[in-house]
């Protein structure tokens, strides 16, 4: 018995229905392209929907937040690895992209005095301005907006419970580049393979954090499909060693492991990180990047000074203990990241909810900053310099976590939801224009090898289940290519991958076609293996610590050194890895950036050393200033009114 194959044609295929996929599909359909959107999960059931619902909106917090300021902030926070063309594009279109969400029903709080979305009171995760806008229903609000963007367009057909298996590429055409002619899909609900002829495919199928489960706050479907599919097609992958770990995720109990408990800004003005002995391992936490906080925690763990569950302690008690400003801090803690606070309250108990004790936290895999190498329209590029289009795959586009080059070594907090709209829309429009201007004949012969390869898996005999090997690679990935790495660990991971690959032909897959879970598990396992291999190859090429890539056996790479990206490419069965020089920010800007960074840290240090009564008065004023949306902050009496948390909230 052989699985049936159905043939269809569309102008554009979009893989993934989260923020990037939804925005891409909508933009392509608006230009008149026929679009097929493919999703493993129900529409919108993605990382976007479970996010804290914070979006970067330039100028939402201050009038001096000009395009150059935000663009440079992203570039320098990313270790100068980001491509300036991409950071400029993000900065230029962040407000316009955010308005696209609002057109589909997103409703932010409004700063009435300035008639613009209200930003959070403190700059998040490495931002140098207040520009992170929150929403009452968090990620659900964005999920609904994305759902609306999909269903309102008559040109969009969508498939749920469908696995995009591979891109079909014509390498023997008259063009100098390989050309996309479509893709192969497993429709689990019908039990058929779908051979889709299409000149354009947009990969927007998320990240790879499931490789580190359960130490992740993301959806289970993040199995690295984006990168494995693109690599097999011959695309360049850039900065694959740069994976962002949120520093403050829960380490226990098991049912809460990996869930978000806070951001660096959660620590507020006096929060510090401590090791198991109570020694401070990082101060000025609220001014640090996510990468810096994660690195401090994991270095303490590797040094034997970690908390009982392999993390550290986020101590915010100094904020709470001040009589006048303490209640304002508690209000801020509850309101700024409410879902994270609820996670901590439920997992850690009443004393933690009242910030009477430190919180045990541990990094969790969160966001892939590397990905498919693209230009500012999301189109696949290659070659030996930033501006080259040589070796790019014609018709291949990417957006969201699938694309690389925007964030480099560290992503600023709240930028992802904006990124999805900026580059999702641009990729959708570019893919539609490409398809509508380029007609290709259906070439069924080029699909045959893909169809035969996947059809042959149904009924494969074996004695191993995919989930056994999946658990094995997840445990080893955390240890060897997770938040901290060594050359020895990377080599051991390579050996583990080779061992697992020898067992793939011994995985049992029954011979039925409707919702064949074993087949889907096998496909995802292969993609996870490929993603782990990509991380290891890039990590070995970058022999030094920067951002999300921490090498315990090598020195930190100075921001003043020549920046470069790692690029991985597959030619037949050979993996090719190289360095790609990036344009360095002018030296005077780098020096100014570092001086301001040091100045902010020194000011924070000085504030923490002031006499208690002076410190309390200064912080009370700071909280009132930053919490005021209309010129008047809420009056909170010492002891907790205004719903001051911990005293009135049940645990």
pLDDT mean across residues, the chain? 91
Same domain, 114 and 237: yes
Q: How would residue 474 be classed by pLDDT, with cut points 50, 70 and 90?
A: very high
Q: Examine residue 645 and state whether it is found in any structural domain, yes or no.
A: no
Residues 394, 397, 398, CA angle at the centre, nearest 5°?
A: 150
Domain containing residue 122: 1-242+369-609
Distance of CA 58 to the CA centre of its chain: 20
Q: Examine residue 602 and state whether it is found in any structural domain, yes or no.
A: yes
Q: How would residue 51 be classed by pLDDT, with cut points 50, 70 and 90?
A: confident
Q: Examine residue 272 and state whether it is found in any structural domain, yes or no.
A: yes
Q: Which residues of 527-546 are buried (b: 16+ CB within 10 A; e: fewer)?
A: bbbbbbbbbbbbbbbbeebb
In the chain, % helix, strand, coil (3-state, to 5) comes to 40, 20, 40
Q: Tokens representing 271?
A: 């929060």
Residue 470 is predicted with a pLDDT of 98
Residue 139 is predicted with a pLDDT of 82
Same domain, 327 and 217: no
Of 47-51, 472-476, 595-599, least confident by mean pLDDT is 47-51
Distance in angstroms (rounded) separating the CA atoms of residues 426 and 391: 21
Q: Which residues of 613-642 are buried (b: 16+ CB within 10 A; e: fewer)?
A: eebbeebbebbbebbebeeebeebeeebee
Tally of domains in the chain: 2
Please list, in sequence order, all residues whose beta carbon lies within 8 angstroms of the beta carbon of residue 95, skipping any fewer than 6 positions away.
57, 58, 59
Residue 624 is predicted with a pLDDT of 87
CA atoms within 13 A on the CB side of 459: 7
Same domain, 154 and 279: no
Residue 284 has pLDDT above 70, yes or no: yes
Most trustworthy range by pLDDT among 103-117, 528-542, 592-606: 528-542
Please list, in sequence order, all residues whose beta carbon lies within 8 angstroms of the beta carbon of residue 570, skipping any fewer than 6 positions away.
231, 232, 234, 576
Same domain, 349 and 467: no
Residue 559 is predicted with a pLDDT of 80
Cβ of 304: how many Cβ atoms within 10 Å? 8
Report whether 225 contacts 546 (CB < 8 A): no
Q: How far is CA 303 from CA 170, 296, 306, 310, 312, in A?
A: 51, 11, 8, 11, 12
Same domain, 258 and 236: no
Q: Examine residue 122 and state whether it is found in any structural domain, yes or no.
A: yes
Residue 611 is predicted with a pLDDT of 96
Distance in angstroms (rounded) separating the CA atoms of residues 92 and 318: 39
Q: Supply φ then ψ for residue 356, to 5 degrees.
A: -90, -15
DSSP secondary structure of 269-319: TT-EEE-TTS-EEE--GGGS-HHHHHHHHHHHHHTT---TTSSEEEE-HHH
Q: How far is CA 75 from CA 243, 520, 597, in A?
A: 16, 38, 15
Distance of CA 418 to the CA centre of its chain: 12
Same domain, 484 and 396: yes
Q: How would residue 628 be classed by pLDDT, with cut points 50, 70 and 90?
A: low
Residue 271 is predicted with a pLDDT of 97
Residues 150, 156, 160, CA angle at the centre, nearest 5°?
A: 70
> Helices 84-103 and 415-437: crossing angle, nearest 10°?
90
Report the CATH number that the domain containing residue 450 is assigned in CATH: 3.50.50.60
Residues 492, 547, 389, CA angle at the centre, nearest 5°?
A: 90
Residue 293 is predicted with a pLDDT of 94
Same domain, 170 and 100: yes
Q: How would residue 365 be classed by pLDDT, with cut points 50, 70 and 90?
A: very high
Mean pLDDT of 63-89: 95
Residue 639 is predicted with a pLDDT of 54
Same domain, 446 and 377: yes
Mean pLDDT of 18-37: 96
Q: Examine residue 67 and state whether it is found in any structural domain, yes or no.
A: yes
Helix then strand count (H, E) for the chain reads: 18, 24
Distance in angstroms (rounded) separating the CA atoms of residues 639 and 327: 7
Q: How far is CA 639 from CA 100, 322, 635, in A?
A: 43, 11, 12
Residue 647 is predicted with a pLDDT of 34
Distance in angstroms (rounded) separating the CA atoms of residues 451 and 510: 18
Parallel, antiparallel or unpaired: strands 179-187 and 192-197 = antiparallel
Report the CATH number that the domain containing residue 329 is assigned in CATH: 3.90.700.10
> Helices 517-541 and 225-233: crossing angle, nearest 10°?
80
What's the pLDDT tens digit per position in 634-651? 667 665 544 333 332 222
Same domain, 82 and 205: yes
Residue 631 is predicted with a pLDDT of 44
Q: Supply φ then ψ for residue 545, to 5 degrees.
A: -85, 135
H helices of 215-265, where?
A: 225-233
Residue 13's SS3 state is: strand
Of 254-258, 260-264, 295-299, 441-445, least confident by mean pLDDT is 441-445
Of 414-418, 474-478, 505-509, least confident by mean pLDDT is 414-418
Residue 168's SS3 state is: strand
Task: For the chain, give the percent of residues with pLDDT over 70.
Answer: 95
Same domain, 64 and 129: yes
Distance of CA 341 to the CA centre of its chain: 21
**Torsion over CA: 624, 625, 628, 631 (sign):** positive
Report whether 556 contacts 517 (CB < 8 A): no
Q: Examine residue 636 and state whether it is found in any structural domain, yes or no.
A: no
Q: Examine residue 644 and state whether it is found in any structural domain, yes or no.
A: no
Same domain, 374 and 361: no
Please list, in sequence order, all residues whose beta carbon lies within 8 angstroms of the beta carbon of residue 313, skipping any fewer than 6 positions away.
273, 274, 275, 276, 307, 358, 359, 360, 361
Same domain, 384 and 497: yes
What's the pLDDT tens digit per position in 302-345? 999 999 999 999 999 999 999 999 999 999 999 888 889 999 99
Residue 227 has pLDDT above 60, yes or no: yes
Residue 413 is predicted with a pLDDT of 86
Mean pLDDT of 117-132: 79
Q: Examine residue 130 and state whether it is found in any structural domain, yes or no.
A: yes
Helix (H) or strand (E) holding 26: helix 19-30
């Amino acid at each position: 018995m052989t699985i049936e194959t159905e043939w269809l044609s569309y102008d554009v295929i979009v893989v993934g229905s989260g923020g990037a996929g939804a925005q891409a599909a909508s933009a392509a359909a608006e230009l008149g392209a026929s679009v097929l959107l493919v999703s493993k999960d129900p529409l919108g059931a993605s990382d976007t929907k479970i996010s804290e619902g914070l979006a970067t909106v330039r100028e939402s917090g201050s009038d001096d937040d000009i395009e150059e300021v935000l663009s440079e902030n992203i570039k320098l926070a990313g270790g100068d690895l980001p491509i300036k063309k991409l950071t400029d594009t993000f900065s230029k279109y962040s407000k316009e992209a955010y308005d696209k969400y609002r057109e589909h029903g997103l409703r932010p709080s409004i700063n009435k005095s300035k008639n613009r979305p209200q930003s959070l009171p403190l700059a998040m995760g490495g931002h140098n301005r207040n520009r992170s806008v929150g929403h009452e229903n968090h990620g659900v609000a964005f999920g609904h907006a994305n759902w609306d963007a999909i269903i309102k367009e008559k040109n969009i057909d969508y498939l749920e419970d469908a696995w995009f298996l591979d891109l079909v590429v014509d390498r023997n055409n008259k063009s100098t580049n390989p050309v996309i002619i479509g893709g192969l899909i497993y429709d689990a609900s019908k039990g058929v393979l779908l051979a889709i002829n299409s000149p354009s495919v947009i990969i927007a199928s998320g990240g790879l954090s499931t490789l580190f489960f359960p130490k992740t706050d993301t959806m289970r479907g993040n199995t690295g499909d984006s990168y494995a599919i693109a690599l097999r097609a011959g695309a360049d992958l850039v900065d694959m060693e740069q994976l962002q770990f949120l520093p403050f995720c829960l380490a226990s109990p098991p049912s809460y492991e990996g869930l978000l408990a806070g951001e660096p800004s959660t620590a507020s003005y006096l929060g510090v990180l401590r090791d198991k002995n109570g020694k401070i391992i990082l101060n000025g936490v609220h001014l640090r990047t996510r990468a810096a906080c994660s690195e401090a925690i994991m270095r303490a763990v590797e040094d034997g000074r970690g908390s009982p569950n392999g993390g550290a302690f986020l101590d915010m008690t100094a904020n709470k203990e001040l009589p006048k400003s303490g209640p304002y801090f508690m209000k801020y803690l509850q309101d700024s990241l409410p879902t994270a606070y609820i996670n901590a309250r439920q997992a850690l108990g009443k004393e933690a909810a009242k910030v009477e004790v430190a919180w045990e936290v541990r990094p969790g895999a969160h966001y892939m900053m590397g990905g498919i190498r693209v230009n500012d329209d999301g189109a696949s590029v290659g070659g030996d310099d930033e501006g080259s289009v040589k070796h790019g795959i014609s018709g291949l586009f990417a957006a969201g976590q699938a694309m690389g080059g925007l964030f480099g070594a560290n992503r600023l907090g709240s930028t992802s939801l904006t990124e999805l709209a900026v580059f999702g829309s641009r990729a959708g429009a570019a893919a539609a224009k490409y398809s509508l201007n380029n007609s290709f004949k259906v070439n069924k012969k080029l699909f045959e090898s893909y169809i035969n390869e996947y059809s042959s898996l149904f009924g494969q005999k074996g004695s191993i289940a995919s989930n056994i090997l999946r658990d094995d690679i997840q445990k080893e990935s955390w240890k060897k290519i997770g938040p901290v790495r060594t050359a020895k660990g990377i080599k051991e991971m390579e050996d583990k991958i080779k061992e697992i690959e020898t067992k793939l032909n011994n995985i049992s897959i029954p011979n039925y076609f409707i919702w064949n879970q074993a087949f889907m598990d096998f496909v995802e396992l292969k993609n996870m293996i490929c993603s782990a291999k990509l991380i290891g190859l890039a990590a070995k090429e970058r022999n030094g610590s920067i951002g999300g890539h921490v090498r315990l056996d090598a020195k930190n790479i100075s921001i003043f050194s020549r920046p470069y990206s790692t690029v991985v490419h597959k030619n037949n069965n050979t993996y090719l890895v190289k360095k790609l020089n990036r344009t360095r920010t002018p030296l005077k800007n780098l020096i100014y950036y570092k001086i301001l960074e040091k100045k902010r840290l020194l000011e924070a240090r000085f504030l923490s050393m002031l006499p208690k009564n002076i410190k309390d008065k200064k912080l009370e004023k700071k909280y009132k200033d930053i919490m005021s949306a209309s010129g008047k902050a809420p009056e909170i009496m010492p002891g907790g009114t205004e719903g001051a948390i911990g005293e009135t909230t049940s645990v």
